[in-house]
Structure 1
Amino acid sequence: MSNAQLQSVLDHIDKDFDNSLERLFSLLRIKSISADPAFAADCKVAAEHLAKDIASLGVATEVRPTAGHPAVVGKTGAGAGRPHVLFYGHYDVQPVDPLDLWHRPPFEPAVTDHPDGRKIIVARGAEDDKGQVMTFVEACRAWKKVTGSLPIDITFLIEGEEEVGSKNFVPFIEANKDEFKADYVLVCDTGMWDRDTPAITTSLRGLLYEELKITAANRDLHSGVFGGIAMNPIRVLTRILGGLFDDDNRITIPGFYDGVKDLPPDILEQWKKLNATPETVLKPLGLSIPAGEKGRLLIEQASSRPTCDVNGIWGGYIGEGSKTVIPSHASAKVSFRLVEGQDPARIRKAFRDYVTARLPGDCKVEFGDHSAAPAVALDWNMKPLAAASKALTEEWGKETVLMGSGASIPIVADFKRTLGLDSLLVGFGLDDDNIHSPNEKYDLRSFQKGIRSWARILAALAEVK
């Protein structure tokens, strides 16, 4: 791929940017809220709209039914020996409630001024994920317009149920996995390190969510009559939960850290330079003291180390006034963010064994299953990772950060499990984009340079052998 060709593509992106913006606005106007059945028709319209747009690139594209909202599948012709990628995104969006907190109608996109002077696109889905998807589509459009072809083979796979857990999309890819063979997946649903620094997300933490209920007496008891002689489940529960951490904030469940690896030294050195400090990260939240493992960088605590959090706890009387009662039961919800090397099923068993071993004789425990998904991590030496990183650095003028994400994107684990494919996660969102909240935005600069970035990445991936 010649530098002259790439430069011509980049020049076209800049000249055609107003049209790119209008094409994004056309998609943003569609109320594709997947969680609300009232918008099922809108979801279908969004799928058809995207399919038509991708087909205009000369890609064989169709809207495919699932048990829920439809998927968009587009395939370029296969070239001998060319890299073949699967591009994933989603067209569905979150509900807009509470509507009264929006500064403008959420499905009437507009470019407005941010208080700090930035130009921003405001609309539901502007960043998550319509704006991100369209950075890739527009980069493909520019390559096709300027050169008549795409640098690599691409299968487009865009779903309509990501915001409700991809519950029908995963069975869809399982049923059709033979037609989704590729070398790896490109995902555009992540973010930058900051407004000027590009990033590739190289790991996603897994998730394990547990619920437990501890029961003692067969009914609530009067604390004046039975206090001091009857076991109190709240006391038992809080003692067990409090014992989950030692004085260094390490999780005490036996075997919890088995298989957990430290970061490669070069990545750790890169992270040390990122200025992720309590002052920059915690102070805006009204906090100042990191709560993770002592001796670890703040960014390690947030993205590359496993965690445990109590997300809810209840029992006894919580109404107005007082009620002197020893409750018969107490409950809690506990979540774990897991990293590579940790098996959710093994951690679930270890947690339940930990709780059960600490129960007094007069108590019993019931557990409830919730979410469980493994962590995902790229091979740091993966050639497409290095190529994409270099391309992003060339576009943004700053070294690309290879960062872990503390969150989970379950579909990435599903791609690995179902198709055996690693995912390269590149996105241009910012921390203040208000995704899932009123006044969602996407920086205009993120959109334009995101298109340019993908154009560079496509050229770079074409050279990977």
Structure 2
Amino acid sequence: MTDPIPAILDRIDADQSRAQDRLKELLRIPSISTDPEHDDDCETAADWLVAELTHLGFDASKRTTPGHPMVVAHGGAGDRHVLFYGHYDVQPVDPLSLWNRDPFDPAIDQTPRGPVIRGRGASDDKGQLMTFLEACRAWKDETGGLPCRITILFEGEEESGSPSLVPFLKANKEELTAELALICDSGLYDDRVPAIVTTLRGLLGEELTITGPDRDLHSGIYGGPAINPARVLTRILGNLHDDQGRVAIPGFYDGVGEPPSQVKQGWKDLGFSTEAFLGDIGLSHPAGEVGRTGLEQLWSRPTAEINGISAGYTGAGFKTVLPSAATAKVSFRLVGGQDPLRLREAFRDWVIAQMPPDCHVTFKDHGAAPASTMATDSPIFAATQLALTEEWGHQAAFVGAGGSIPIAGYFQQVLGMESLLTGFARDDDAIHSPNEKYDVQSFHKGIRSWARVLGRIA
């Protein structure tokens, strides 16, 4: 049987201009999920994707949710069945004054490193999801069909916390469950090396407010005998880590294991420089757990970070008050088998135990999601690694991710399905920021990569 991949890749190369035009069409739709003024735009983006998937031969439909719609599509045939997930909603564009062009008027910009597609959503996630659709297009146009069974799930609320996602997965479990989920919402390890994400840190968000006196106090009249909630708060936050950079909450490291030795060796072989990594942001001294490498700290160790503190007068000039209340936002990145809900209780108990007389604390949660570890022994992982290596000319790396992508955990918990995460974004794509872009090379080679992956999977 003749290998169809060379002809498919040639077709992708010849169709690049039209593929970019299709991506620009989708990028022109301002599908900002967090802004009610753009609810109709989210509907328009979903309709556009349904039409595009239908044109590609999928049985596609827009599904209503309490929020923005889901797009679900089915196509192909065969024993192997994969689900591809992406999201069509985008972040707000503020501050608009920092954009060099209209964020919803995408264009190809020339940069010293090569051409890029500039516009909101170019990298996160419209450009990434379109790499997969364009690969399906090339398979269909060249061979008349898809190489395996493919289910598509596109979400419209990823950038606003995915409130409708878990209920939708539960309600449509049988329809959506496949052998494996493919997620294209990650990036290259560097400009040359493709990556497959095998671990994702979980996330726990907490907000605490310590209240003392019933009003702000004059520091000259009350300073000394009156308790200052800001002092109480900063003392507690100062106790969050020990001298070795470890989190001091009792039981915090329960469920934290060590990566296998071969995984650690693979990370070492990547040649990551913590000093260079920090140097890019104007820092020079590692500040995490003593004795842990930079990649270990980013990919396999949990963290506790203070994200914001508010107390008293913070405006222009000076006001000598003892604040009535002090607030902090604290986030925890979780790994392994850490239970975010149990850790929430442990953190709150730890704070409460340090409260002095005349102060009380209240808490507000900001979400909780466990870490995810992918079972890389699936043959699809090996097939994907081989396909990416063939396309990029460098061995595809199995990597961890310092951030959190909750959808992978939801697929595990709700659908009992593992996920494979690979994407083609670069660190300088400015996602969530002004002047977001996606390299033309990432878009082109991303399409070619998925075409190869689908062939290897099938």
Conservation of the 8 A alpha-carbon contact between 2:249 and 2:350: yes
Q: Aligned partners of 1:264 and 1:99: how far apart in 2?
A: 46
Partner of 1:119: 115
Partner of 1:6: 5
Instruction: List alignment gaps of at least 5 residues for structure 1.
Output: none
Unpaired segments of 5 or more residues in structure 2? none
Per the alignment, residue 452 of structure 1 pairs with 448
Alpha-carbon distance, 1:92 to partner: 1.4
Do 2:89 and 2:155's aligned partners in 1 also have CA atoms closer than 8 Å?
A: yes
CA distance in 2, matches of 1:91, 1:318: 39
AA at the equivalent of 2:67: G
The count of aligned residue pairs is 458
Output the CA distance in 2 between the equivalents of 1:435 and 1:251.
30
Shift of 1:230: 2.8
Counterpart check, 1:36 vs 2:35: yes
- Secondary structure of residue in 1 paired with 2:3: helix
Deviation at 1:77, TM superposition (A): 4.8
Number of the residue aligned with 1:97: 94
Residues 351-390 of structure 1 mapped to structure 2, 5 A cutoff: 351-390=347-386
Q: Pairwise mapping of residues 166-185 of structure 1 onto structure 2 (< 5 A)? A: 166-185=162-181
Where does residue 73 of structure 1 map in the other structure?
A: 72
Distance 2:86 2:162 in 1: 12
Deviation at 1:348, TM superposition (A): 0.6
1:145 has 2:141 as partner:
yes
Contact 2:275/2:285, CA 8 A, preserved across alignment: no
Query: Secondary structure of 2:438's partner?
Result: strand
Residue 457 of structure 1 deviates from its aligned partner by 0.8
Contact 2:122–2:436 under 8 Å retained in 1: yes
The yes-or-no answer on 1:340 pairing with 2:339 is no
Q: Name the structure 2 match of 1:305.
A: 301
What displacement does 1:3 show?
Answer: 6.8
C-alpha displacement at 1:398, in angstroms? 0.7
Contact 1:272 1:297 in 2 (8 A): no
Residues 288-303 of structure 1: matches in 2 within 5 Å? 288-303=284-299
Distance in 2, matches of 1:191 and 1:452, equals 15
Structure 1: distance between partners of 2:280 and 2:410: 35
Cα deviation 1:176-230 (Å, max 9, x = unaligned)? 2221121111111111111111001112111111111222333434434443333
Tell me the secondary structure at the aligned position of residue 280 of structure 2: helix
What secondary structure is seen at the aligned counterpart in 2 of 1:252? coil
User: 2:190 and 2:2 mapped to 1: Cα distance?
Assistant: 28
Determine the structure 2 residue equivalent to 1:266.
262
Could you tell me how far apart the structure 2 residues matched to 1:46 and 1:319 are? 42
Q: How does 1:187-198 map to 2 (within 5 A)?
A: 187-198=183-194
Q: 2:54 maps to what in 1?
A: 55
Alignment partner, residue 412 of structure 2: 416
Alignment partners' CA distance in 1, 2:201 and 2:296: 12
1:191·1:199 contact (CA, 8 Å) conserved in 2?
yes
Aligned to 1:397: 393
Deviations 1:84-139 (A, max 9, x none): 1111111112222222322222222222211x231111122111111111110111
Q: Answer yes or no: is the 8 Å Cα contact 2:228–2:322 preserved in 1.
A: yes
Task: Tell whether the 8 Å contact from 2:90 to 2:121 is kept in structure 1 after alignment.
Answer: yes
SS of structure 1 residue aligned to 2:342: helix
1:220 pairs, out of 216, 223, 226, with 216
Taking the aligned partners of 1:173 and 1:195, their CA distance within structure 2 comes to 35
Cα 1:321–1:443, aligned 2, differ >3 Å: closer, same or farther? Answer: closer
Distance 1:110 1:328, change over 3 A: closer
Question: Does 2:423 align with 1:427?
Answer: yes
Q: 1:69 to 1:354 in 2, by over 3 A?
A: same
- 2-side partners of 1:438 and 1:214: how far apart? 36
Contact 2:209 2:363 (C-alpha < 8 Å) held by counterparts: yes
Alpha-carbon shift at residue 149 of structure 1 (Å): 2.0
Matched residue SS, 1:4:
coil
For residue 366 of structure 1, give the secondary structure of its aligned residue in structure 2: strand
Aligned residue among 87, 96, 105 for 2:84: 87
Rounded Cα–Cα distance in structure 1 between residues aligned with 2:2 and 2:247: 52
Q: Distance in 2 between matches of 1:161 and 1:323?
A: 42
Mapped partners of 2:21, 2:232: distance in 1: 59
Alpha-carbon contact 2:34-2:160 (below 8 Å) kept: yes
Q: What's the TM-score once normalised by structure 2's chain length? A: 0.95
Per-residue deviation, 1:140 = 1.0
**Using a 3 Å threshold, how does the CA distance of structure 1 residues 77 and 142 change in structure 2: closer, same or farther?**
closer
